[in-house]
């Protein structure tokens, strides 16, 4: 790793403009050691924002050809709530195969991992990393970094929303990284025992984080806390 993950996230938290945020995409790319990192958001009014490391030529080609219509990543993730490896998407159609060929020629990479994000007021965003690796090395990468990728997606989206709202943003409860970790894993369907094991903490410690988050969110129980956190765009699942 080129940089510590917490350092990268702390730096993202401090940016004040979308241009600055775009620049810090590079730090995420370097941290994960991949060819590309992409964040794309569409809010409820159709306004879009993208921060990415693809070449300008590929971005122009993608937009000119309206490839979002056939891109299995966009189409597949729009129907999903969970992170997905590109190998699990449907690339069998002729338009999809042609698109994949162009994407490979443009240096997008043969491997990818995408995280769909549904924020407040109908916002939809997509956080993606891609690279040129073997299936075996990519599987190891996914096992090592899935948790950090989900957290990076959350913090990047949270910062983008904060910048977009400006002085009109709605104040919401601020959860600690560990509280977000705990609720995110529960939202993904893990049991408390599994969530605690994933975070390398005891179930007692996990309960402390959950109860703290529940109190901040004004929730009646854990399920209510997860629901409120999701509705406010605090979690990525």
Report the SS3 class of residue 48. strand
What are the backbone dihedrals phi and psi of residue 79, each rounded to the nearest 5 degrees, phi first?
-100, 5
155 and 46 co-located in one domain: yes
User: Which of 146, 167, 188 is the C-terminal boundary of a domain?
Assistant: 167
Same domain, 107 and 148: yes
pLDDT in tens, 200-235: 999 999 999 999 998 888 888 888 888 888 777 788
CATH number at residue 70: 3.30.450.80
Of 120, 136, 167, the last residue of a domain is: 167
Which residues form the domain of 196? Answer: 177-231
Instruction: Say yes or no: 15 and 112 in one domain.
Output: yes
**Average model confidence (pLDDT) across the chain:** 87
Q: Quick one: 107 and 204 in the same domain? A: no
Where residue 185 sits, what CATH number does that domain have? Answer: 1.10.10.10
Q: Does 237 map to a domain?
A: no
pTM: 0.71
Asked whether the beta carbons of 129 and 112 are under 8 A apart, the reply is yes
Do 49 and 160 lie in one domain? The reply is yes
Instruction: Give the end-to-end CA distance of the chain in Å, rounded to a whole number.
Output: 25
- In this structure, are 149 and 195 located in the same domain? no
Identify the segments of the chain with pLDDT beneath 70. Answer: 1-3, 44-45, 120-122, 165-173, 236-237
CA distance 8 to 24: 8
Q: Is residue 172 part of a domain?
A: no
Determine, yes or no, domain membership for 236. no
Domain tally, the chain: 2
């Amino acid at each position: 790793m080129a940089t510590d993950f917490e350092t990268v996230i702390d730096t993202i938290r401090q940016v004040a403009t979308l241009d600055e945020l775009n620049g810090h995409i590079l730090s995420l790319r370097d941290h994960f050691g991949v060819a590309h990192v992409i964040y794309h958001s569409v809010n409820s009014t159709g306004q879009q924002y993208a921060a990415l490391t693809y070449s300008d030529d590929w971005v122009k080609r993608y937009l000119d050809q309206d490839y979002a219509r056939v891109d299995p990543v966009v189409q597949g993730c729009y129907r999903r709530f969970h992170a997905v490896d590109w190998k699990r998407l449907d690339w069998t159609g002729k338009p999809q195969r042609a698109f994949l060929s162009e994407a490979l020629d443009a240096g997008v990479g043969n491997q990818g991992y995408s995280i769909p994000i549904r924020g407040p007021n109908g916002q939809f965003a997509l956080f993606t990393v891609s690279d040129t690796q073997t299936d075996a090395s990519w599987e190891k990468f996914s096992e090592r970094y899935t948790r950090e990728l989900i957290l990076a997606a959350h913090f990047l989206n949270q910062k983008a929303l904060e910048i977009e709202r400006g002085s009109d943003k709605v104040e919401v409860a601020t959860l600690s990284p560990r509280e977000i970790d705990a609720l995110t894993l529960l939202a993904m369907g893990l049991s408390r025992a599994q969530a605690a094991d994933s975070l390398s903490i005891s179930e007692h410690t996990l309960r402390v984080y959950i109860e703290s988050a529940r109190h901040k969110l004004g929730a009646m129980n854990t399920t209510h806390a997860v629901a409120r956190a999701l509705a406010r765009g605090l979690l990525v699942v």
